[in-house]
Chains A and B, each alone.
Chain A
């Protein structure tokens, strides 16, 4: 009796899927999406490989891009219909920092997933400053305070201390800056005249595309970097560096990549946008289903050369609940990369606002802005309305659970408590200016950068 019931349910679900999938009147069906070779592009690969795009009647081509700049330009010029993006990219483009274009996101791709790695030599110099656990392994999270004496040493010798991040408005730029500043190091400021981001810097940060990070560090151009997976684990496997901290240890469940499309595309193709969002939500669900039970399969897909292409073992480390610091020092990290649980895919305004506060903190937004401005900008770019409409359809089709979505959210997450952030400064997206002023290093209030100095 029970089996019959299940069977009947399964059949209705199946038929309703195909029926519903055709109910959306798609404006365009052939789409090209760009991505960077990083494990957090997984929702795109899964939506393609598991046929979620096709279920929606979408025919998608996925194309790896050389770097974040090429990818952004591709989306703006229309060569790409959408892309796996750094959360800062749609925000920066919309407020006109760098290339100007109105880009929106109806779907947030993941939480966490990054790390900061230093070369073996730097690690050897840092290690004496790191407290040990009883078993002799270093105690995590490691603060940048352990790095400060090393940087001081380089400074005394008149040597620049170079580190890499992936793009001026990348999560990684803000994360490595956050970490350095939390340890008392100045990561440098941007000004409208000087966009190197190295004004007054103790540590000189420069841009390197993610997959080239290990090679660039091996060549000695940079001493460390902040990047997404698998490029931290790659350094461990290659024996050229040691990840010192993951972003999960800096801020538990911090927002990561988003799926970006132009506002124009969303306006002209509303149904297609919904269909894309539906497929991506299903992919994210699949990635986190049954306590990450599908992750090994996902790792196999990602290790194919058309996606991330790194070795299975390298990708598996962070994707299946472990993170390896030094070789052999493998620690559990079940939430290292979250794709669906904790409402990971919902585009929260408070996430957008955090990125904007960091842009202001380091001078990419040169002047003080009102709290209202932060809210309005976030609403322009982050589109939970589209997300919820797509989620509603999935629930109606029996492909998602009602309980998995924050239907009544006003777009603001609960404030992050001080204990979840490495420097103990709590974050509340409802008070951007108060938050900016509470951060130890960085521009505050009406301060501006003039020449090499902070004024005000």
Chain B
């Protein structure tokens, strides 16, 4: 007779395996902002319920409570502020506008379908009349829906951000590797970094208008917004890359000397891997800055996107305008948060920090 029942042993092993898996998944939950899933899973798997309840309370209960308190405070305080457009909308009014915007989008989609049907009918008629050269397929010319505006903004910010990264990372590596390059770049960085997007915008607008033909691949307004984003989101990546490259372990640098690595190998095998965590920190900051800048640029230049939506609503001055602007504010916040999470996830994927 054995002291331990083999079945218990088996169960023990299975439980241990389960917990390893949960712990492994936890790293990803952390990245995705779902850390509260871990204690729930652990409790479900039969871990000490009391400790897990404490965790759940801290990771899920407290944030939910804070959000509800915020909503209650908003709901009670907002109606007390009277503006000339009526009372400041509370959470309910804002939620109603979310529905209204969705309905708007659906109505627009119906109009779009009707537009394409009319177009098809016309084209069919041309063919029937024996004039196939008159057949045209063109895109719908209606107003952009709220979803279109969100999508435009996201595309613009990524385009600007990519452009910024393409410029900033090589420059940052240069500045990090060579003291001379650093001395050359540093004053420029110091001067241009604090410049507001609103100051860049007129310059960018004039230059793009003067140099870019309207029938090109991109719309002018898209380029103006994107380049303004680039100019403002360049700096965090540049500075962090330079810092990351400059602070490579001296031993590693010596090793590269001993191995007589050429510059290319040195950069790809040694500099980039060890500077990656800081580069990603820079990229994450850049994307955040870019998103903030974009909304301001769109508002000022009336370029398509969420910024224009906000400005148009402000100009409308209807009784729903304030609530609609708040919908946009929340959308901007949530998308900004998601963008940050995406960058954080990428960072966790590509870098080997102590966290993983």
A interface, CB within 8 angstroms of B = 18, 22, 29-30, 37, 54, 59-62, 64-66, 70, 77-79, 209, 211-212, 214-215, 218, 234, 238-240, 303, 305-306, 308-311, 314
Contact = CB atoms under 8 A, between A and B. Distances in A.
B315 A218 contact: no
A70 B84 contact: no
B265 interface: no
Nearest to A305: B316
A305 B141 contact: no
Contacts of B315: 37, 64, 209, 211-212, 309
Contacts of B312: 64, 305-306, 309
Given A77-B209, A214-B317, 13 more contacts: A29-B136, A30-B138, A30-B141, A66-B311, A70-B302, A79-B214, A211-B315, A211-B316, A305-B104, A305-B313, A305-B324, A308-B316, A310-B316
Contacts of A239: 84
A338 B188 CA distance: 58
B318 A309 contact: yes
Contacts of A22: 134
23 contacts: A54-B118, A59-B141, A64-B315, A77-B209, A79-B209, A79-B214, A211-B314, A211-B316, A212-B315, A215-B84, A218-B84, A234-B317, A303-B318, A305-B104, A305-B316, A309-B313, A309-B315, A309-B317, A309-B318, A309-B321, A310-B316, A310-B318, A311-B318
A11 to B, nearest CB: 16
A65 B302 contact: yes
Interface of B: 84-85, 104, 118, 125, 134, 136, 138, 141, 143, 209, 214, 220-221, 300, 302, 311-319, 321, 324
Contacts of A77: 209
A452 B302 CA distance: 38
Contact of A240 (B84, B138, B302): B84
A27 B18 CA distance: 70
A22 B141 CA distance: 20
Nearest to A306: B143
A22 B314 CA distance: 41
Q: Which of B136, B313, B316 has the most CB of A within 10 A?
A: B316
B84 A37 contact: no
Q: Which of B313, B316, B317, B318 has the most CB of A within 10 A?
A: B317
A74 to B, nearest CB: 9
Contacts of B104: 305
A446 B315 CA distance: 43
Closest 6 CB pairs of A and B: A309-B316, A211-B315, A238-B84, A306-B143, A61-B141, A66-B302
A234 B321 CA distance: 13
Contacts of B313: 305, 309
Nearest to A238: B84
A134 B209 CA distance: 60
A60 B141 contact: yes
A238 to B, nearest CB: 4
A314 B316 CA distance: 11
A37 to B, nearest CB: 5
B85 A238 contact: yes
A22 to B, nearest CB: 8
Given A60-B141, A238-B85, A240-B84, A305 B214 contact: no
Q: Which of B134, B302, B314 has the most CB of A within 10 A?
A: B302
Given A59-B138, A214-B84, A310 B118 contact: no
A239 to B, nearest CB: 7
Contacts of A212: 315
B317 A310 contact: yes
A18 B131 CA distance: 15
Contacts of A311: 318-319
Nearest to A230: B317
Nearest to A239: B84
A438 B67 CA distance: 69
Contacts of A310: 316-318
A78 B136 contact: no
B149 to A, nearest CB: 11
A79 B206 CA distance: 13
A164 B100 CA distance: 34
Contacts of B316: 37, 211, 305, 308-310
Nearest to B140: A59
B279 to A, nearest CB: 38
Contacts of B300: 66
Contacts of A306: 143, 312
Contacts of B324: 305
A26 to B, nearest CB: 10
Contacts of A303: 318
A394 B317 CA distance: 38
A212 B314 CA distance: 9
Contacts of A211: 314-317
A285 to B, nearest CB: 22
